[in-house]
Chain A
Amino acid sequence: MYFYQFTSGHHVATPNMEGIIELHNNVMFYLILILIFVSYVLYSIIKNDSNKIIEFESYIIPEDLLEDGQLRMLDVDASIVVPVDTHIRFIVSSADVLHDFCVPSLGIKIDAAPGRLNQTSALIQREGVYYGQCSELCGVFHSAMPIKVEAVSLYEFIN
């Protein structure tokens, strides 16, 4: 079977070949569509960092210093402020004994071991306040080690 090449660029007119060409065009179309979606998703993954290092200590608020509306055994003086809709890398470690960084509403429970850096990531989609507590027995004050994560808009976070 010979294929005649016409000047228009259309190579053959047999139904077989036309079908193959159409299949090829369809496949390429969907492939490119999928590739566009995949690259969009990949592009929107960023993680959280800044050139400045923010260091702070966070302590539980003792009961006699609680203000109205604050939660007993959960509220702290310095919460962890993070932006929403941003991938965040958490590196958890400990200075003394085993602890556990747990914020159940964000699906985070990660052991804090001395001499070890554990990594996990989170993407918080809703602004708000998320509480958690230490989940590894660590001494007398194990029950008094809450975690408070505050998710704010990107604009608020930068300013």
Chain B
Amino acid sequence: MSDEQQIELKTVGFDARFPQQNQTKHCYQSYIDYHKCITVKGEDFAPCKVFWKTYNSLCPSAWIEQWDDQRSNGTFPGNL
């Protein structure tokens, strides 16, 4: 698990809100939560990083790019 290089392999832990096989909402929810978090707390607030790691782990990069484009256009389908 940790060599001399101190590399730790870890991923998003179990989230009781999404216990089953379908993790679509988990990905979507953490994307929204991250952006709400940085809006309220600012980009340097460290606990927001948890949401960032979650959605980067779970979501396909195509989805993330599409959502980023939608956000800059103002057409993102969700409350941010």
Contact = CB atoms under 8 A, between A and B. Distances in A.
A117 B9 contact: no
B32 interface: no
Contact of A155 (B3, B23, B26, B62): B3
Q: How large is the interface on A (under 10, 10 to 19, 20 to 34, 35 or more residues)?
A: 20 to 34
Contact of A93 (B9, B11, B13, B60): B60
B7 interface: yes
Interface in A88-116: 89, 91, 93, 95, 110, 115-116
Interface string B4-37: 0101111111000000011110110000000000
B9 A50 contact: yes
A70 interface: no
B12 A118 contact: no
Nearest to B24: A117
A95 B7 contact: no
Interface in B28-60: 56-60
A75 B61 CA distance: 25
19 contacts: A46-B8, A46-B10, A47-B11, A47-B13, A49-B10, A55-B61, A93-B60, A116-B22, A117-B59, A117-B60, A118-B21, A119-B21, A119-B22, A119-B23, A154-B3, A155-B3, A158-B3, A158-B5, A158-B7
Interface of B: 1, 3, 5, 7-13, 21-24, 26-27, 56-62
